[in-house]
Amino acid sequence: MRRRRFPWFVISALVVGAGFYVALPGFAATVGPVTDSIGVVKIAKGQPVTVAYWMVVAGPDASLGIDTRRGVEIAMEGKGGKLLGHPIKLIGEDTGCNAEGGVTAATKLSANRDIVAAIGSNCSSEAVPGAPILWKAGISTVSPSNTAPKLTAADRGPTFDGYLRTAHNDKVQGRVAAEFAVKVPKVKRAATIHDGSPYAEGLANVFAETLKKLGGTITAQEAVSPTDTDMRPVLTKIAVGKPELVYYPIFISAGGHVTRQAKEVSGLANVKLMGADGMFSPDFMKAAGDAAVGMYHSSPDLSPEALGPKYKDFLDKHQKKYGEKPLAPFHAHGYDAANMIFAAIEKVAMKDASGNTYIGRKALRDALFATKNFKGLTGTLTCDKFGDCADPKIAIYQTESADPAKWDPGKNPKKIYP
Amino acid sequence: MRGAWARKGTLVDLYLWAFRVVVILVVIWGTFGTLRAGTYSREHWIDFAVFGLSQGSIYALIALGYTMVYGVLRMINFAHGEVFMSGAYTAYFVADAFGRSGYLNRNPLVSYLAILVVAMLTSTAIALVVERLAYRPLRRAPRLVPLISAIGASFFLQYAFRGLYGSGFKAYPEPEVLKGKWVIAGIGILRSQVIVVVGAALMLLVLYWFVMRTKTGMAMRAVSEDKDAAALMGIDVDRVIVITFALGAAMAGAAGVLYALVFKQVHFFMGFVPGIKAFTAAVLGGIGNVPGAMLGGLFLGLVESVGPALFLDGLGIVAPYQLKDVIAFTMLVMVLIFRPSGILGERLVVKKA
C-alpha cells in the first residue's frame, strides 16, 4: 500500500512544480524599491537600458527583419537615444524565419538578465516556440510582424502571457484579401498555397473561408515547403481545378519560384496571382522577375491617407538615415512596438536616491497589456487581453514594374483597394 | 535469401516484411484511386514527368560527385552541395554582366558557354582547395574524421559566400530565347527544361565515356577497387583522387548553371537541399556506381514530381505536395530494404573493408 502511494505523491509534486514553472517564470524578488512576482531588472546609474530584437536579419528573408529593426532604430532616435536618463542599448539575434532559429535566438536572449523587453519575432513560426522561452525568463516581447491568428487566440495558453503584437491579425488580412478578390477582379474560383508555416497556413485558411462565405469556390488548398524550388508539379495539380486566382501568402524565396513558374504551367497562363505581406518587398521583385508584373499583394496600408503626416516625417528620417525606401511593410509596426515598450518602461520604472532604475518584469508586462489609445504610426493602438494591439488597415497593391529600383509602395506596387 | 529468413525469422524480419507489404499496398491503392478518379489527363502526367526529369537530371549531375568521391575514397564529401552553390553563385556575376550589357540576348550560346566555363572552373577550384586542405591531411585517419571535416568545410563555404556576397539572394537574368515552349512530338515542353535535360544527358555521356574508355578513367576504377594495389601498379593515387574531385566538381558547377536556368534564384544556402537530395540519389542508385548515380537522380526527380499526385491523391490526402520529401525518402528506405546496395549496387567491388 505504501509503495503504491509513494509514486502518486512524486507525480503530483511534479505536476504542481511544472505548473509553477509554466505559470510563474523567474522568481519573485525585491530589489531596491520594487517588488515583483517574476523578477526585477536593476539598471545602475549611467548603465544602458537593454532592449533586444529577435528578427530575420540574414538569409533570403532578411529584408523583413532589417525593415523592422530600422523602425526600432528610428524610434530610439526619436527618444534621443535615452530613456529615464539611461542610454538605450539595442542588441539582437537573427531568427532565420523558422522555428529552429526562433528557439536559438530566444534561448540566447533569455540567458541575458539585462534585457528589459524584446521586440520580435518577424515570422510567426519563430514566435510559436520562441515567445514562451522568453516569457519563462520573464521577458515580454512585442512583435512588429507576426500575423498568424493562433498567436493571440483565446486558447494560446499561459506560456504566451508575455507576448503582444503591433502587427495586424491575419483574420483581418485574409478577409480583406478575399473580399477584394470577389469584388474587384470578380473571382469565383480560387486556389491557395501555403508553406506549412503558421503564418501562411492561417492566412490561406482565413482567405479560403471568407471566399466561400462570399459565394466563391476554393478549387484546391495546396502546400509546399519553404525550401522547395520546383513548384511546377504542384502548380500543375492546381491547374486541374481551373482556378481564376491563386493566393499564396508565403515568403520571398518560395513565393518567387511560384510566381515565375505559374505562367509556365499549362492551364495557368491567364490566372491571377496574389501574395501577401510576407513577400511585399523589392527583394521579391528580384526573385520573381517580370512574372510579378500585374500580381496582387495584400499588405498593411501605408498610404498617407491612412497614416497621416507623421508617417511622412518617418519616411524622411528613414531616407536620410539609410538612403533608401523601406524594404518591407513592417517598419512602422517596429517603430510602434519600440515606442510602446518605451512608454511602458517609463510608466513602471522606479528610481532610488542614487539614480539607479528598477523595472519589475511582471509590472512591465501588465503595463504593456494595459496600453490603451496609444497614438502610434500605424494608428491608435489598444491591446486586448490576448496581446492584439494593432489598429489594422489592410490594402491591396498591384505591381506595375518588377524593377527593384522602382520600388515605391503606394505607387509601384500601386495601391488599388480600398 | 528466403531460406535464411525461414531459418532465423526474427521479429525484426517479420516487421520489415510487414512494412514492405504495407507500403506496396498503400502505393497500389493510392495509384488505383488516383487513376480511377481520373483527375489528371494524359497531358498532366506528361507535364509531371517532364518536370521530374529536369529536376532529376540536376540531381544526377550533383550525385556524380558524391558517388565518384565515395568510389575512390570511401568517404561522403558533404561539402559537395556547397561546391555546387559556389559555381552557380560565382557564375551569376558573369550572367548578370552579360544580362546588363544585352550580350545575353544577342548571343545566348556564347554567353552561356562562358557562364558554364566560369561555374565549372570555380567549382573545381573550390573542390580542389577543400580536398587539399580538409581531406588529404586526413587520408589515413579513421573514417569519421574526414566526414566531420567535410561538414566543417561545408559550413565554412556557406558562410564565406555569405560574407563575400551578402545574405540576400540574386536572380539570374532570363534570355529571350529561353522563354516559352518548344513543341516536341506533340508535347509542349519549356525550353529551359529541354536544355537542362539535353545538357545533363550530354555531360553524363561524356563522363561515362571518360571513366570507361580513357586511361585516367581506368586508373580511377583501379583506385576504387584497391588503392594499395593500384599504387603498386604504378598509378599515382593522389593524382587520381585530385582528378576525381575535379571531375565531380565540374559536374556540380555545370549542374549549378542548369539549376539557375530553371530556377533563377541563387543564394549562399542554396546548395544544402540539392546536396542532400543528390546524396540520396547516389545512395538510391548504389553509391560508388556512376550509372547508378545518374539513374538514382532521375528516379528521385521523377518520384518527387509524379509521386504525390499518383500515390497520395488517391488516398484523399490534402495538399500532397507538402509530402514529396516523405515520398522521396520512403522510396530510399524501400530501395535499401529490397536492395541494400542500391538499384545498381556496387557490382565491381566485392571485398570492402
Give pLDDT, residue A410: 80
Instruction: Kindly determine whether residue B169 and residue A257, on different chains, have CB atoms separated by under 8 Å.
Output: no
- Residue A10 domain-assigned? no
**A259 shares its domain with A351:** no
β-sheet bridge partners, residue A415: A397
Domain of residue A411, CATH code: 3.40.50.2300
A326–chain B nearest CA distance, Å: 16
| Residue A196 backbone class (left: φ over 0; alpha: ψ -120 to 50; beta: rest) | left
Q: Are residues A273 and A195 in the same domain?
A: yes
Mean pLDDT to the nearest integer, A204-212: 92
Q: Which of A253, A264, A290 sits opposite B169 (nearest CB)?
A: A253
- Which residues 6+ apart lie within 8 Å of A388 measured at CB? A152, A164, A165, A169
* Residue B321 in this model has a pLDDT that exceeds 80: yes
Closest CA to A401 of A413, A389, A383: A413
- Residue A181 and residue A265 share a domain: yes
The CA–CA distances, whole Å, from B140 to A25, B65, B80 equal 52, 21, 21
**Long-range CB contacts for residues A15-21, cutoff 8 Å, separation at least 24:** A21/A136
Residue A13 lies in a domain: no
Q: Do B168 and A266 touch (CB under 8 A)?
A: no
Q: Indicate the SS3 state at residue B246.
A: helix
Of A230, A266, A286, the CB nearest to B47: A266
Give the pLDDT band of residue B350 (cuts 50, 70, 90): very low
pLDDT of B348 > 50? The answer is no
The span from the CA of A364 to the CA of A278, in Å, is 30
Instruction: Say whether both A148 and A240 belong to one domain.
Output: no
Average pLDDT, chain A: 86
User: What DSSP element (H or E) covers B62?
Assistant: helix B42-73
- Residue A140 banded pLDDT, cuts 50, 70, 90: very high
User: Number of folded domains in chain A?
Assistant: 2
- CB contact residues (below 8 A), chain A span 51-80, against chain B: 58-60, 62-63
Both A108 and A226 in a single domain?
A: no
| Mean pLDDT score, A39-60 | 89
Cross-chain CB nearest to B167 (options A59, A265, A287): A59
Cβ distance of A265 and B47 shorter than 8 Å? yes
Query: Domain of A222?
Result: 171-303+395-417
* Four-CA torsion A264, A267, A271, A276, nearest 10 degrees: -60
Tell me if chain B has a CB within 8 Å of the CB of A83: no
Q: Given a cut of 90, is residue A248 above it in pLDDT? A: yes
Q: How far is A89 from chain B (nearest CA, A)?
A: 25
For A285, name the nearest residue in chain B, comparing CA atoms only. B171
Select the more confidently predicted residue: A99 or A34.
Answer: A99
pLDDT at position A16 = 52
φ, ψ of residue A88 to 5 degrees: the values are -95, 130
Taking the Cβ of residue A196 and every Cβ of chain B, the question of whether any pair is shorter than 8 Å is answered with yes
Hey, are the CB atoms on A224 and B321 less than 8 Å from each other? yes
Coil, helix or strand for B296?
helix
| Structure letter (DSSP) for residue B345 | -
Residue of A nearest to B262 (CA): A230
- Is the ipTM higher than 0.85? The answer is no
B225: number of Cβ within 10 Å: 15
Is-contact A127 A60, C-beta < 8 A?
Answer: no
Whole-angstrom Cα distance, residue A103 to residue A110?
10
Average of per-residue pLDDT across B78-84: 92
Chain B residues bordering chain A (beta-carbon distance below 8 Å):
39-40, 43-44, 47-48, 51-52, 55, 162, 167-171, 174, 181, 188, 190, 259, 262-265, 267, 269, 272-273, 304-306, 308-309, 313, 318-322, 324-325
**Do A104 and A131 lie in a common domain?**
yes
Above 50 in pLDDT, residue B353? no
Res A301: pLDDT: 86
Answer yes or no: do B265 and A283 touch at CB < 8 A.
Answer: no
C-alpha grid cell, residue B255: 549542374
Is the pLDDT confidence value at A87 over 60? yes
Q: Both A281 and A408 in a single domain?
A: yes
Domain presence at residue A6? no
Please determine, for residue B323, whether its predicted confidence score (pLDDT) is greater than 80.
yes
Measured CA to CA, the distance from residue A336 to residue A239 in angstroms comes to 42
Q: Which residues of B touch A283 (CB under 8 A)?
A: 168-169
- Write out pLDDT tens, residues A299-351: 888 887 778 788 888 989 999 999 888 888 899 999 999 999 999 999 998 88
> Angle, nearest 10°, between helix axes A62-78 and A331-348?
40
In the prediction, which pLDDT does A69 show?
94
CB A67 within 8 A of CB A331: yes
The C-alpha of A163 sits at a distance from chain B's nearest C-alpha, in angstroms, of: 29
Residue A109: inside a domain: yes
Residue A229 to residue B188, Cβ atoms within 8 A: no
> pTM to 2 decimals?
0.81
Q: Same domain, yes or no, for A335 and A188?
A: no
Pick from B40, B44, B265: which is nearest to A287 by CB? B265
Confidence of residue B9 (pLDDT cuts 50, 70, 90): low
Q: Are residues A152 and A256 in the same domain?
A: no
Q: Looking at the predicted structure, is the pLDDT value of residue A212 above 60? A: yes
Average confidence score pLDDT of chain B: 86
What does each C-alpha distance from B203 to A187, B200, B271, B342 come to in angstroms?
A: 47, 5, 20, 23
Is there a single domain that holds both residue A278 and residue A410? yes
- Going by pLDDT thresholds of 50, 70 and 90, the confidence category of residue A66 is very high
> Which of the four pLDDT bands, split at 50, 70 and 90, describes residue B310?
confident
Among A17, A28, A16, A15, CA closest to A138: A28
Cell 558573369 found at: B94
Residue A319 lies in a domain: yes
Mutate to test the interface with A, among B39, B47, B58 (most CBs of A within 10 A): B47
Mutate which of B265, B266, B311, B324 to test chain A, going by most A C-beta atoms within 10 A? B265
Q: Please check whether residue A134 lies inside any domain of the structure.
A: yes
Give the pLDDT confidence score for residue A306 in this predicted structure.
78
Q: Is the pLDDT of residue B157 over 50?
A: yes
Q: Which three cell numbers stand for residue A123?
A: 515570422
Confidence band for A20, pLDDT divided at 50, 70 and 90: very low
Specify whether domain B11-338 bears CATH 1.20.1250: no
* Strands A34-36, A29-31: pairing kind: antiparallel
pLDDT level of residue B351 (50, 70, 90 thresholds) = very low
> Are the Cβ atoms of B321 and A60 closer than 8 angstroms?
no
Find the CB nearest A233 among B170, B265, B305: B305
Beta-carbon contacts of residue B214 (< 8 Å; ≥ 6 apart): none
Across A60-83, average pLDDT: 90
Mean pLDDT of all residues in A185-202? 89
| Closest partner CB to A233 (pick from B51, B181, B319) | B51
pLDDT of residue B73: 85
The strand pairing partners of A221, in sequence order, are A192
A255-292 pLDDT tens trace: 999 998 998 888 888 899 999 988 888 888 888 888 88
pLDDT higher than 50, residue B10: yes
Q: Which residue on chain B is closest to A232 by alpha carbon?
A: B51
Q: Does A205 touch chain B (CB under 8 A)?
A: no
- Give the N- to C-terminal CA distance of chain B in Å, as an integer: 23
In a domain, A18, yes or no: no
Contact B321 A232 (CB under 8 A): no
Provide, as residue numbers in chain B, all residues whose Cβ is less than 8 Å from the Cβ of A236.
44, 47-48, 51, 309
Dist. CA B340–CA B326, nearest whole Å: 19
Best mutation target, B55, B321, B325, B326, to test chain A (most A CBs within 10 A): B321
How many CB atoms sit inside 10 A of residue B126's CB?
Answer: 25
Q: Cell numbers for A249, please give them.
A: 501568402
Domain spans, chain B: 11-338
CA-based end-to-end distance of chain A: 72
Q: Convert chain A into a string of H (helix), E (strand) and C (coil).
A: CHHHHHHHHHHHHHHHHHHHHHHCCCCCEEECCEEECCCEEEECCCCCEEEEEEECCCCCCHHHHHHHHHHHHHHHHHCCCEECCEEEEEEEEECCCCHHHHHHHHHHHHCCCCEEEEEECCCHHHHHHHHHHHHHCCCEEEECCCCCHHHHCCCCCHHHCCEEECCCCHHHHHHHHHHHHHHCCCCCEEEEEECCCHHHHHHHHHHHHHHHHCCCEEEEEEECCCCCCCCHHHHHHHHHCCCCEEECCCCHHHHHHHHHHHCCCCCCCCCEEEECHHHCCHHHHHHHHHHHCCCEEEEECCCHHHHCHHHHHHHHHHHHHHCCCCCCCCHHHHHHHHHHHHHHHHHHCEECCCCCEEEEHHHHHHHHHCCCCEECCCCEECCCCCCECCCCCEEEEECCCCCHHHCECECECEEEEC
Q: Note whether A269 and A322 are same-domain residues.
A: no
Provide, for chain B, the percentages of residues in helix, strand and coil under a 3-state DSSP scheme, each rounded to the nearest 5. Answer: 75, 5, 20
CA atoms B19, B21, B24, B27: torsion sign: negative
* φ and ψ at residue A237, rounded to 5 degrees: -65, -40
Answer yes or no: are the C-beta atoms of A99 and A129 closer than 8 Å. yes
C-alpha triplet A226, A228, A233: angle, nearest 5°: 125
- Report d(CA B194, CA B183) in Å as an integer: 10
Can you give the pLDDT at residue A1? 40
Are A196 and B322 within 8 A, CB to CB?
Answer: yes
Q: Which tens digits make up the pLDDT trace of B191-226?
A: 888 889 999 999 889 999 998 899 999 999 899 888
What is the nearest CA distance from A221 to chain B, expressed in angstroms? 6
Given an 8 Å threshold on Cβ–Cβ distance, is A287 in contact with B269?
no
Residue B273: CB atoms within 10 Å: 15
The pLDDT assigned to B346 comes to: 60
